[in-house]
């Protein structure tokens, strides 16, 4: 019935708004990923500051941490991988229902070294990421 469903709420708010929200999420995510690929460690903080809120909550492989400095430590650790400086890329579209978004990524080290793939789920506040949940590795199919 017209006027009482999700369709009406979206059309009343306008598709333009949703497109802008997705563009802002994609921009913040791509800026976050670019910190892993910065030409020099000195650019990492600047890139993260453009993508993250100052009070960002980061749920990574080693647990929960807060603030850009904690995310920066994680990014710098990845950049200093023993197999060499790798490349992080977003390898999927950004799927964004409301203020949450998810995307898939791949990290590859040089010369056919280790490769890691995963999915991140992020929450956005005012076009910046304020929560990151990292799911590294593939999820195995469940047994029947």
Asked if residue 60 is part of any domain, the answer here is yes
Q: What is the CATH number of the domain that holds 96?
A: 3.10.450.50
pLDDT at 68 over 80: yes
Q: What's the pLDDT band for 19 if we cut at 50, 70, 90? A: low
Q: Are 15 and 7 spatial neighbours (Cβ–Cβ below 8 Å)?
A: no
The Cβ-side half-sphere exposure at 30, using a 13 Å CA radius, reads 10
The pLDDT of residue 62 is 86
Asked if residue 36 is part of any domain, the answer here is yes
First vs last Cα of the chain: how many Å apart? 40
Kindly state the average pLDDT of the residues 45-65.
Answer: 96
The pLDDT of residue 120 is 97
Asked if residue 144 is part of any domain, the answer here is no
Q: How far apart are CA 48 and CA 76, in angstroms?
A: 12
pLDDT at 3 over 80: no
What's the number of domains the chain is made of? 1
The pLDDT of residue 2 is 44
Asked if residue 1 is part of any domain, the answer here is no
- DSSP per residue, 57-111: EEEETTEEEESHHHHHHHHHHHHT-TT---EEEE-SPPB-STTEEEEEEEEE-GG
Asked if residue 9 is part of any domain, the answer here is no
Asked if residue 2 is part of any domain, the answer here is no
Asked if residue 5 is part of any domain, the answer here is no
Asked if residue 30 is part of any domain, the answer here is yes
Residue scoring higher pLDDT (15 or 84)? 84
Q: How far apart are CA 22 and CA 107, in angstroms?
A: 23
Identify the domain containing residue 45 by its residue range: 14-136
What would the two tokens of residue 128 be? 């910046």
Across the chain, what does the average pLDDT equal? 86
Strand partners, 128: 125
Give percent above pLDDT 70 in the chain: 86
Kindly state the average pLDDT of the residues 117-127.
Answer: 95
Residues whose CB falls within 8 Å of the CB of residue 120, separated by 6 or more in sequence, listed in order: 29, 102, 103, 105, 132, 133, 134, 135
Q: What's the pLDDT band for 135 if we cut at 50, 70, 90? A: very high
pLDDT at 24 over 80: yes
pTM (2 decimals)?
A: 0.82
């Amino acid at each position: 019935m017209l006027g009482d469903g999700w369709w009406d709420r979206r059309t009343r708010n306008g598709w333009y708004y949703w497109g802008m929200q997705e563009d802002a999420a994609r921009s913040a995510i791509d800026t976050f990923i670019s910190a892993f690929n910065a030409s020099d460690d000195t650019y990492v903080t600047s890139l993260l500051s453009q993508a993250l809120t100052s009070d960002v909550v980061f749920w990574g492989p080693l647990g929960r941490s807060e603030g850009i400095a904690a995310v920066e430590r994680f990014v710098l650790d990845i950049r200093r991988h023993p197999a060499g400086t790798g490349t992080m890329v977003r390898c999927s579209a950004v799927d964004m229902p409301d203020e949450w978004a998810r995307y898939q990524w791949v990290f590859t080290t040089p010369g056919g070294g280790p490769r890691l793939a995963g999915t991140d789920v992020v929450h956005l506040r005012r076009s910046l990421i304020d929560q990151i949940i990292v799911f590294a590795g593939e999820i195995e199919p469940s047994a029947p």
